[in-house]
Structure 1
């Protein structure tokens, strides 16, 4: 694999998250009914950053939850290795809330489908709005993000890697070409 292009650096990610926060607050006419839920692993940390920014902007504490979708994936039986299962942490009621679902990259739509299935096991939200840092196209399911940081058209032999300081020690987004 070789790095084809650096798409975003730390400053780009910070500016993009700031813009997304303003778009979320504007579309929802404030933050009164919002809760933010991130999909493990990198969506979790983006969700925490987004919730913190909304809380500061609106002077209102925003609940944050984390989804581990391992057992909800439709490809779990296709993978040979043992999946690493972590916990889902939603310590608040999602009933009648406007849920902001966060992931790092939207590609086929299968991760989001699995996240929606799991989320509905926790209750019945008023709305679920999807936020992604990168939308790379090539959907296999009819899923569309409500808020997109950046759209990057990719081929099937390319991959987007999001690096976040909480996991990887740095913030960046790179495009990789597979051999």
Structure 2
């Protein structure tokens, strides 16, 4: 992996490389399809920024398995966050749903689950779009440190971390370079 691809990340702290990310997404795809007995009535919504790319990849893998095109969308949660007054909001992204969410099974997709606050915001945003039959959560990394009673249904990797550490997810289609997940900060 080149230094340009990893930036200032110590290669020894990389916990998932591109092939491991692909394998985790393949496993998540199959778990989603098994739990829901196929892709009928499924709506995949990625949470910007990297959740959108991950949702697209899962939809692509589902399409291969199901033999039909599965599309994904995006659910911007910026205006639903409970920390807007504490720090400046990032630029608004767009919300794009590939299908009506009423009476559908919505699978929210995000890169890292930590406190659960982003997912709480996503549930609030989703409520403004309609009333899904069920909501499930797929994450590439679950690092613990929950502040809200939220858990992922589908997890690529459980990665216990210290609060002083950060988990950096980089995806080629979002960030350029190579796919990887690394731990940065904290004590090496």
TM interval, short-chain normalised: over 0.9
* Secondary structure in structure 1 of the residue aligned to 2:86: coil
CA distance in 2, matches of 1:12, 1:87: 29
- Which sections of structure 1, spanning at least 5 residues, go unmatched? none
* Secondary structure in structure 2 of the residue aligned to 1:121: helix
- Name the TM-score, length of structure 1 as normaliser: 0.94
Q: CA RMSD in A?
A: 1.5
* Secondary structure in structure 2 of the residue aligned to 1:24: helix
Are 1:158 and 2:161 an aligned pair? no
- Who is 1:173 aligned against? 181
Alignment of 1:28-177 (within 5 A): 28-79=36-87, 81=88, 83-169=90-176, 170-177=178-185
Give the drift of 1:168. 1.6
CA distance in 1, matches of 2:170, 2:89: 24
Alignment of 1:13-24 (within 5 A): 13-24=21-32
Give the drift of 1:60. 2.7
Deviations 1:41-82 (A, max 9, x none): 000000001011111101133231101111100001100x35
Deviations 1:63-108 (A, max 9, x none): 31101111100001100x3531121112420001111110000000
Q: Is the 8 A contact 2:108 2:138 kept in 1?
A: yes
* Secondary structure in structure 2 of the residue aligned to 1:36: strand
Check 1:66–1:82 CA distance in 2 against 1; reply closer, same or farther (3 A cut).
Answer: closer
- Name the TM-score, length of structure 2 as normaliser: 0.90
Between structures 1 and 2, the one with greater strand share: 1
CA distance in 2, matches of 1:114, 1:41: 15
- Which sections of structure 2, spanning at least 5 residues, go unmatched? 1-7
